[in-house]
Copies of this chain bind each other. A is one copy, B any other.
Amino acid sequence: MQALSPLDQASINAIRFLSVDAIQKAKSGHPGLPLGFAPMAYDLFARHLRHSPKNPYWAGRDRFVLSAGHGSALLYSLLHLSGYDLSLDDLKAFRQWGSKTPGHPEYGHTAGVEMTTGPLGQGLSTSVGMAIAQKHLAARFNRPGFPLLDYHIFVVVGDGCMQEGISAEASSLAGHLGLNNLIVLYDDNQITIDGRTRLSFSEDVVQRYEAYGWFCQSLQGDGHDLDGLDQAIAQAKAQNKPALIKIQSIIGFGSPKQDSSGAHGSPLGDGMEATRKALNWPYSPFEVPSEVYEHFSRLQAAWAKEEADWNQLFAAYAQAHPDLAKAFKEAEKNQWDVSLLDQLEFKVGEKIATRQASGHVLAAVMPKSPNFMGGSADLTPSNNTHFPGAEDFNAQEPQGRYLRFGVREHAMGAIINGIGLSKMLKAYGATFLSFSDYLLPSLRVAALSKYPGIFIFTHDSIGLGEDGPTHQPIEQVGYLRALPGLVSFRPADAYETREAWRFALNHQGPVCLALSRQGLPVLDQTKLGSATQGVARGGYILSDRQDFQVLLLATGSEVSLALEAQKRLDQAGTPARVVSLPSVELFEAQEKQYQAQVVPPSCKQRIVIEAGLIRGWEGYIGEQGRFIGMRSFGASAPAADLFQHFGITVEAVVRAAQEMVSA
């Protein structure tokens, strides 16, 4: 290990002290990682990353992901010095209301932050999605002499990320797929919040990653061996596997609390002065020696040159491969041709499960949407996610667009997020709605960060039948509706499914589709309210009656039940309106007037019908309304028996309506 040059040393210390000064000022934050890992992160930025601080979304850039998001101050310091739109004042506003420097990095909030991190494991796993996107795009667009997209994804992870199950799932898949564009720096500092990692974590991480099919290296030098890292990265780039570089840094390096859990998550406080002394840093808070700024200016010039070269390359590429260049630009628009859906017609009255209808949508859309990938967490035949001409994406065939996630729901969620972060591709993934729980943390990050991505959740109720309550969702639709930033649909038939997809394709944020296992009659678009008009508004009048006395609100598979009840109520002389509410979130985002038109506040005799729980529906039900749905977990039996036993029947609706009007 060579000694650090004075300039490297000064730069590293500038990063360290910008970080701990920000934390000190905020009286909150995590100094341990910035102090310990600054040399490695500096090396990455100064000697490896190709990026464009003035054009942060440049398609050709390397990606830097701080999966250990609690070390945000480290990232902000690097972004500031690298010339991103992040001033010294922004650093001084660390963790304050309205600042660009929140406690954990937030995508879309701060230039240069490639993804939202903090919930452990999400960063590494989402990076696997980024790596899949790179591999696919490179296969599609690179040509001899035109390595347009040869970027790498560099990820910094800590012990926490390595312990999370989602990382295990994603890393196993990354090994399987041979994602050699993924280089993970594992900060094995031996300390977690509870104390030494050995309290709970004594596995051989390197051996585990080798078992996944990764190329693993271990660095000496307490996290200060810049040349060693350079060599390790060069080695990693030469492999046909993802790479793990284990680095035993010293948490809180230079501070009185170094190498202890005390260094992890609290400002140094009184230890600030001792740290300045130990690291020989005579500068005042937030002071950066001019030679460091100058050094980074030179780096910025070099980065700008690389981008300019790339632009020249692209211009030549446009000459040599005009169609590809056009397709490239098209992909960058990140738009989907929803007119492909117009051709999809369904036969009225025919029973088609909405999961099947979704399969028809994919059959119509996917062959003509090269920028769209997707798959299933090993439920392809059940989720109806395959499409004509689909080829599996894998190490040998990165041009494939069908994703075999394996039985790894959580990693699937993160990977969908990561693919969407390419801004050139979008992805869908699928599992049973009941198992949406397994990927909820990824869905939450997507909702918070407005990642595009489509989540297909089939078998959306007790309609799943015999597999029983472990597989029957009851609460999940409510969960999805409650998550701000996520739009969920529970379509009533094939047409509503088509229209939900129309919305989903071009929505700039995550969308969920809750789809039925069982066949549902195709509704007559000529006689009933139009799905084409209604679904995008979240809810609409599906079937009306003059002077209706009862309002039936239903979603998904219960909509046709409501229509059946309406007929029976007609016979009984009780006119009822049927409202379909495929997306409660979108409906509630409409202007009040429209909402009142569909669900008039004056009509108190309302029945909500959904084979899920009541929670969330109370506002629609009001004080006089009724709920026909689930009040407990489901059970194992044929679906028809279950609807009967749980009282979700036409008879129950009719009875409730008649009780209400005669009350």
Residues of A within 8 A of B (CB): 26, 28-29, 69-70, 95-99, 102-104, 106, 116-120, 159-160, 163-169, 172-173, 175-176, 192-194, 199-208, 210-213, 376, 378-382, 392, 404-411, 434-435, 437-438, 440-441, 444-445, 447-448, 465-471, 474-475, 478-479, 481-485, 601, 613, 615-623, 631-633, 635-638, 641-642, 645
Contacts and interface: CB of A to CB of B under 8 A. Distances in A.
A201 B159 contact: no
Contacts of A200: 173, 176, 378, 404-406, 408
Contact of A618 (B392, B441, B618): B618
Contacts of A438: 119, 164, 441
B176 A169 contact: no
Nearest to A117: B470
Given A28-B638, A193-B381, 13 more contacts: A102-B469, A103-B466, A103-B467, A104-B470, A118-B471, A163-B172, A163-B408, A165-B166, A192-B407, A194-B404, A211-B211, A437-B440, A437-B441
Nearest to A119: B470
As for how many copies of this chain the complex holds, the number is 2
A478 B485 contact: no
Contact of A103 (B95, B98, B636, B645): B636
Contact of A165 (B165, B210, B468): B165
Nearest to A379: B193
A173 B204 CA distance: 12
A376 to B, nearest CB: 7
Contacts of A481: 615
Given A484-B613, A637-B97, A104 B468 contact: yes
B613 A615 contact: no
Question: Which has the most chain B C-beta neighbours within 10 Å: A163, A392, A445, A478?
Answer: A163
Contacts of A192: 378, 406-407
Given A118-B470, A465-B28, A165 B160 contact: no
Given A96-B637, A176-B201, A468 B102 contact: yes
Contacts of A95: 466, 468, 636-638
A397 to B, nearest CB: 12
B212 A164 contact: no
A205 B199 contact: no
Given A159-B407, A165-B166, A601-B623, A176 B194 contact: no
Contacts of A194: 376, 378-381, 404
Given A176-B201, A440-B437, A193 B382 contact: yes
Contacts of A632: 484
A203 B213 contact: yes
A251 B341 CA distance: 40
Contacts of A103: 466-468, 471, 636
Contacts of A621: 619
Contacts of A207: 207-208, 210-211
B176 A471 contact: no
